[in-house]
Amino acid sequence: MGTGSTLDVVRHKLSAARSVTVLTGAGISADSGVPTFRGTDGLWRNFRAEDLATPEAFARDPRLVWQWYNWRRELIATTRPNPAHEAVAHMEQRFERFWLITQNVDGLHRDAGSRQLSEIHGNIWMVRCTVCRRVTENRDVPIAILPLCKLCSGLLRPHIVWFGESLAEDDLQTSGASLKTSDVCLIIGTSGLVYPAAGFGAIAKQAGAFVVEINLDSTQQSSLVDVTLQGRAKDIVPLLLQT
């Protein structure tokens, strides 16, 4: 099937859908200028995300990890949502039941107006005290290194789910409930390599959803989805709701 006719199939499925789940990854924000994790532009001083986004890396060298987050905060601070984020935000009004699950920590979905969402990997503008565990917003760019809690003077860390850490239980439950009751599931701009999100498409598919992948390239999950729309998220996602 060429992209034209595949697009018509997806539009038709969406026009009949009552319940929709969208899962997004770094690819949707790439069009806003946020580097992805596994592209070469995602590397920082030759470190890979997997070597910095871990509790062990933070315990060993919190300064280095905060420097990396400062680099990412600086990059993200100047970015704006793109037409793909905006189209996803419009979907909230369009369907009887809708849930957005994002792996992105950049906050661009919120900036675009999305409210029915789980930021399952956290948010780069939130910090958490390693001692009293209080979570607060902090939009300083750059953030002072090392940042300390105003309440207890404990060391602050990014409020981000790192490799080896578990997702919040309520995010898992809300996401699972939506995936299992969806008529259509859209998977946008994720390599499908990081679990548990990498398994979400299969959960939706098993429960009977029509699963659509939107990505520049083929991925680990391309073989399980019903259709793939290949291209840039900012070009494709806004077309999905047009009739």
DSSP string covering the chain, please?
Answer: --HHHHHHHHHHHHHH-SEEEEEE-HHHHHTTT---SSSGGG-BTTB-HHHHSSHHHHHH-HHHHHHHHHHHHHHHHT----HHHHHHHHHHHHSSEEEEEE---S-HHHHTT--SEEETTEEEEEEEETTT--EEE---SSPPSS-B-TTT-PBEEEEE--TT-PPPHHHHHHHHHHHHT-SEEEEES--S-STTGGGHHHHHHHTT-EEEEEESS--TTTTTSSEEEES-HHHHHHHHT--
Structure tokens that stand for 117 in this block: 């969402």
216 lies in the site for ligand OAD, by CB under 6 A: yes
Cα distance between residue 77 and residue 11, in whole Å: 34
Contact with ligand OAD (CB under 6 A) among 219, 221, 228, 229:
219
Question: Least distance (Å) from ligand OAD to the CB of residue 235?
Answer: 8
43 lies in the site for ligand OAD, by CB under 6 A: no
118 lies in the site for ligand OAD, by CB under 6 A: no
85, 109, 121, 159: the catalytic one is 121
When the beta carbons of 11 and 38 are compared against ligand OAD, the nearer one is 38
189 lies in the site for ligand OAD, by CB under 6 A: yes
Could you say which residues in the range 73-102 bind ligand OAD, by CB under 6 A? none
Contact with ligand OAD (CB under 6 A) among 57, 161, 184, 204:
161
Contact with ligand OAD (CB under 6 A) among 215, 225, 229, 240:
215
49 lies in the site for ligand OAD, by CB under 6 A: yes
Is 85 in the active site?
Answer: no
The residue type of 24 is T
- Tell me the number of residues near ligand OAD by CB under 6 A: 29
201 lies in the site for ligand OAD, by CB under 6 A: no
**Start-to-end CA span in the chain (Å):** 19
Question: Least distance (Å) from ligand OAD to the CB of residue 35?
Answer: 8
Could you say which residues in the range 22-41 bind ligand OAD, by CB under 6 A? 25-27, 30-31, 36-39
Any idea which residues carry the catalytic annotation?
121
Binding site for ligand OAD (CB under 6 A): 25-27, 30-31, 36-39, 42, 49, 53, 103, 105, 121, 160-162, 189-191, 193-194, 215-217, 219, 232-233
